Structures are given as structure tokens and as C-alpha cells.
Amino acid sequence: MPPQVAARISAEQERWLKDYFRTKSAGAEFILPWAVDTFFRAINAIKGTFSAPELKTIIEAHKDIKLLPEQSRLAYLQLRLQDACDLDLIHTKHGASKVNLEAKLKRLDDVQATALMVWATAFWVSKENGAHDLDEYVKSY
């Protein structure tokens, strides 16, 4: 038997799943694996785009952040990084160029930006976070 997952969705999302997939369960069984595959495709598509200092800056900008589905847009990533660099100078801590980082972010689409935000946030929430440091996490990307 495959693992069970319980997700919280809005009434509108439940209606959408039932309309498109006949049942909520059938919709969830399609959407969840599709979303995971889409995440990994997006991450793989942007691998190598960012330098290690840029990736560390992105991760640092997501410390103590809870991502929400409505924030899964490039504009949120750009704003988060702009604030983190302008207010906290985190790019200087990791030796990244703010100008180069902003230029690279502009080339992402919303799916790629969301995947990058999920990946960056995962460093801080992962149960294995204590098992590796920031350098190892970036290297494994």
C-alpha cells in the first residue's frame, strides 16, 4: 500500500479537484506526484545557474520563512532577496554579487523560482539540517 498523505486544501481547491478528476482522492493522487516531479525538473533545469555564494545567499534569505502557496512567484523571490541584501547585506557575508544575483533571478520563471524557494527553505526545516552544513547542502545541489 502506498504511503498516505493528508493535505489541507481550501473548499475551492477541493471543488476544482472533484471537477477535473471526479474525486478529491483521484485528483490528489495525480497532483501530488506531478508537483514533486515538476519541482525536481525545475531544480534540475536551473542547476549550475547560480554560484555557491549566490546559493548560500538565497538560502540565508529564507531562514525563518514559512512559504505559502500564494507566494510561489518570482516576484516574491526577488523581493525576499532584495530585502535580505539591502537590509542585512547577506550577499556580502557569502561573497555574492547582488547585481549578478538579481540578473540571474530575472531569467527564472515562476515554477523555477518556486522550486528554488522550496529548496532554500528545506535547508532550514529539514530533519537532516544538523547532519550537514550550508557548504555541504549547496555542494549537493
Same domain, 58 and 27: no
Question: Does residue 39 share a domain with residue 103?
Answer: no
- Give the pLDDT of residue 40: 93
Are 38 and 74 part of one and the same domain?
no
Is pLDDT above 70 for 132? no
**3-state secondary structure string, 87-125?**
HHCHHHHHCCCHHHHHHHHHCCCHHHHHHHHHHHHHHHH
Domain annotation covers residue 6: no
Instruction: Classify burial at 137, counting beta carbons within 10 Å of its beta carbon; exposed 0-12, middle 13-18, buried 19 or more.
Output: buried
Same domain assignment for residues 42 and 85: no
| Residue 63 lies in domain | 52-140
Q: What is the pLDDT of residue 25?
A: 87
67 and 111 housed in the same domain:
yes
pLDDT digits (tens, 9 = 90+) for 79-127: 999 999 999 999 999 999 999 999 999 999 999 999 999 999 999 988 6
Is 5 a domain residue? Answer: no
pLDDT value at 45 more than 60:
yes
One domain, residues 29 and 62: no
Question: Do 80 and 33 sit in the same domain of this protein?
Answer: no
| Domain assignment of residue 91, yes or no | yes
Q: How many CB atoms lie within 10 A of CB 36?
A: 10
